[in-house]
Amino acid sequence: MNLLKGKIAAVFGVANERSIAWAIARALHAEGAELAFNFVGEALERRVRPLAQELHAKIVLPCDVTSDEQIRAFFQAVKAHYGGLDILIHSLAFADRKDLQGDYVSTSREGFLLALNVSAYSLTALCREALPLMEGRDGSIVTMSYYGAEKVVPQYNVMGVAKAALEASVRYLAADLGPRKIRVNAISAGPVKTLAAAGITGFKEMLHFAELKAPLRRKISAEEVGQTALFLSSPLASGITGQVIYVDAGYQIMGM
């Protein structure tokens, strides 16, 4: 269909071929988008660069989202090469492993600030630097959330608080950027086996429980999340902004 022919997309958060960000990148590329990728550190570069080359990406650059300087340099490179940007994918989060164990009340100040900085504030920081490249281009920004933002999920702890902040940021950013023809939405995905998920204590039990209780009685795939991100990034979703879209086999609707 070439829904995104001629569009430029920056994808943040690819860690390996099982990443949700990678599934999103593949979906965008299949519909004609040209891609730019970030990585953090040499270990991730060794994983990300070959994947980016598969999709003929011309920009693969270091960008630690806790560094305003690196964020600025990344988007300057995009501007120099492409002149603008149409799509921004924010698919990254981080918390210290010890803060994803035990009780939330034990979260340290340092752990709290780290999780909120990487997992929530980074969206605002990326949007601020991307704005001059996206303004007036009917752009789309998509970030990744999880049900732990609104309900207590054991061991998700500070990450749930960070995702709640992220979802609130989506609404405020949508209000800010809407007049500039930029949409901002979140996808709340059900549990998917990724590198990040491996750091959550009891993740296998979470995966099994979601499969058992979701109306569709199955797990979701990263590819299903990728297709939803494609929809939100395309003209098909031109009237949608400030929303959290659930891709969880229906789990979110269930009570008891």
Instruction: Point out the residues that are catalytic.
Output: 146, 156
Integer distance in angstroms from the first to the last C-alpha of the chain?
41
CA distance 137 to 141: 12
Residue 52: which of 96, 79, 15 has the closest Cα? 15
Residue 89: which of 162, 183, 157 has the closest Cα? 183
Residue 24: which of 149, 135, 33 has the closest Cα? 33
| 194: its two tokens | 């990724």
* Tokens 């003929």 belong to residue: 56
| Chain centre distance of CA 201 | 21
* Tokens 């980074």 belong to residue: 122
- The residue type of 110 is E
